[in-house]
Amino acid sequence: MLRFFNTLTRQIEDFQPIEDGKVRMYICGPTVWNFAHIGNFRTFVFGDILRRYLKFKGYELTHVMNLTDIDDRIINEAAARNISIDEFTAPYTQYFLEDFDALGNERPEIMPRATHHIAEMIEIISKLLENGHAYESDGSIYYRIAAFPEYGKLSKIKFEGNIAGGSERIDTDKYDKEDARDFALWKLVGENEQPGWDAPFGRGRPGWHIECSAMAMKYLGPTFDLHAGGQDLQFPHHENEIAQSEGSTGKQFAKYWIHSEFLKIDDVTMSKSKGNFFTFRDLTKQGYSPLAIRYLLLSVPYRKQLNFTFEGLHGAESTVERLRNFRSLVKESGGSADERDAVELVILALRKFTAAMDDDLNTAAALAAVHDLVREVNVIMSERPLSPEERDAVLDAVGKFNMVLGIFGEEDDAMLDADIEALIKERQQARANRDFARSDHIRDELAAKGIILEDTKEGVRWKRK
Ligand code: AMP
Ligand code: ZN
């Protein structure tokens, strides 16, 4: 049974989707204003593991990850360059997706952009104004936290010390809000100011939090199964998403909330503002492979902090190489005996692997199961080749590990020497049987894979193109 730590209840809970066999999930995506750093990617790789494991468990998945293509930083940077926000965000969106793909992440089913969902945001804000969960002040629209008594249920932050909600207006320079906790849903902008959108409550632009409520509910409905994101989003972002969504629909928003911990460097959180970050490209430029970076990012369970070191990355590099070599060795191992030892080991390893992943996605324990199997099968292969049944079982397990973790990388398309030689033998046999159609077919098949055959007096020679 799959179990998660639900931030909403602060408990490990059995995962039970609303609809049998189907999971609807929302993960907060990147702000496309710069290159994402590997701290950001720790969160996205975690989201990918969550996604892949749900699929592995047989769920049909609708996974939404938004792209935040409007916020103050984007507006300022675009204005400084005298270009539109679309022109500014387009290349960063592309860089993000390139890096995201290179890290072996599967694309979510839906990747909506905030600026394409302004109408949906306006609709929610209108509802909140209608039912008293929002109010206008100096042309902007704010969420009225006093009207949502459950505010704080996710982050468990106690607000006693804060200014109490109420209708009395707080007269300070800093706040034109009823309550210091109230947050902007819609910010007033001038007639000709860009970007700006017309709304029944005045021309403006959205606050940050409303976009996720709008896009999550549009694609997943008012109530859905899972909502995830980095630890820092718990408050205020996710708390505000709940307030906006539940305030407008009266229904529970997400059932399970999952938050992943930070990537640190020298024990300080990696962040753009602190300047202590590496982008994915910084590391690949230094020769590190995307697979090793991925391995490092997922090697520590998501609820534990991970401290980035180059030593760790070196270690990940040799580990992924060992895993790839292992897969090649197993493929080439061609005994004919009736042995079953490795089959038994595979059954045990898969059991340990799924138990670890079921346990709140314990990737460290899952990796231990992978490495144990690799070590034990290597011992067998040092003594004798694997039997066909063993070879198939081990390759099947590797396929399953890879489906969930993506740490073995793509299958090598290049043909192994043993496979080539087997085909050549078959071609000779076909020729001996005067089955020229078959022999030509084999020659063409090999040619398509870049293998060239030369018929010589001494027999057939082959070389790679
Ligand atoms: P942003 O692009 O700033 O909206 O952030 C994208 C995601 O990266 C969010 O889910 C953040 O929680 C996450 N994030 C930011 N810094 C880190 C870090 N050092 N480690 C892990 N996740 C992070
Ligand atoms: Zn969000």
Q: What is the dihedral of CA 208, 214, 216, 218, to 10 degrees?
A: -160
CA nearest ligand 1 atom 18, residue: 39
Beta pairing, strands 224-230 & 22-27: parallel
Q: What is the pLDDT of residue 423?
A: 87
To test the pocket of ligand 1, the residue of 43, 95, 97 to mutate (highest count of ligand atoms within 8 Å of its CB) is 43
CA nearest ligand 1 atom 15, residue: 40
Q: What is the pLDDT of residue 165?
A: 42
Residue 26 CA, ligand 1 centroid: distance in Å: 15
The string of pLDDT tens digits covering residues 124-134 is 999 999 999 99
126 in ligand 1 pocket by Cβ < 6 Å?
A: no
CA nearest ligand 1 atom 5, residue: 30
The string of pLDDT tens digits covering residues 134-192 is 999 999 999 999 999 999 999 998 776 554 444 444 444 455 799 999 999 999 999 88
Strands (E), 251-376: 254-260, 263-265, 268-269, 306-308
42 in ligand 1 pocket by Cβ < 6 Å?
A: yes
Beta pairing, strands 22-27 & 60-65: parallel
Ligand that comes closest to the CA of residue 233:
1
Amino acid code (one letter) for 183: F
383: CB partners within 8 A, 6+ apart: none
pTM: 0.87
Q: What is the pLDDT of residue 413?
A: 55
263 in ligand 1 pocket by Cβ < 6 Å?
A: yes
Q: What is the pLDDT of residue 166?
A: 43
Task: Measure the CA–CA gap between 390 and 260, rounded to whole angstroms.
Answer: 37
Amino acid code (one letter) for 309: T
Task: Measure the CA–CA gap between 24 and 21, rounded to whole angstroms.
Answer: 10
Candidates 376, 57, 36, 388; CA nearest to 226 is 57
Domains contained in the chain, CATH given: 3-260 (3.40.50.620), 265-405 (1.10.730.10), 417-464 (no CATH)
Candidates 258, 254, 361; CA nearest to 24 is 254
Residue 328 CA, ligand 1 centroid: distance in Å: 36
Task: Measure the CA–CA gap between 2 and 16, rounded to whole angstroms.
Answer: 8
Residue 297 CA, ligand 2 centroid: distance in Å: 21
**What would the two tokens of residue 422 be?**
């087997």
Residue 38 CA, ligand 1 centroid: distance in Å: 9
Q: What is the pLDDT of residue 171?
A: 43
Per-residue pLDDT for the chain (465 aa), expressed as one digit of tens each?
999 999 999 999 999 999 999 999 999 999 999 999 999 999 999 999 999 999 999 999 999 999 999 999 999 999 999 999 999 999 999 999 999 999 999 999 999 999 999 999 999 999 999 999 999 999 999 999 999 999 999 999 877 655 444 444 444 445 579 999 999 999 999 988 889 999 999 999 999 999 999 999 999 999 999 999 999 999 999 999 999 999 999 999 999 999 999 999 989 999 999 999 999 999 999 999 999 999 999 999 999 999 999 999 999 999 999 999 999 999 999 889 999 999 999 999 999 999 999 999 999 999 999 999 999 999 999 999 999 999 999 999 999 999 999 999 887 655 667 778 888 988 988 998 998 888 888 888 888 777 888 888 878 888 876
Q: H helices then E strands: how many in the chain?
A: 14, 15
Backbone angles phi, psi at 117, to 5 degrees: -130, 30
Residue 28 CA, ligand 2 centroid: distance in Å: 4
Nearest atom in ligand 1 to the alpha carbon of residue 31 is 2
Q: What is the pLDDT of residue 169?
A: 43
407 in ligand 1 pocket by Cβ < 6 Å?
A: no
**What would the two tokens of residue 55 be?**
């699929």
CA nearest ligand 1 atom 9, residue: 230
Residue 230 CA, ligand 1 centroid: distance in Å: 6
Q: What is the pLDDT of residue 419?
A: 77
119: CB partners within 8 A, 6+ apart: none
Ligand that comes closest to the CA of residue 96:
1
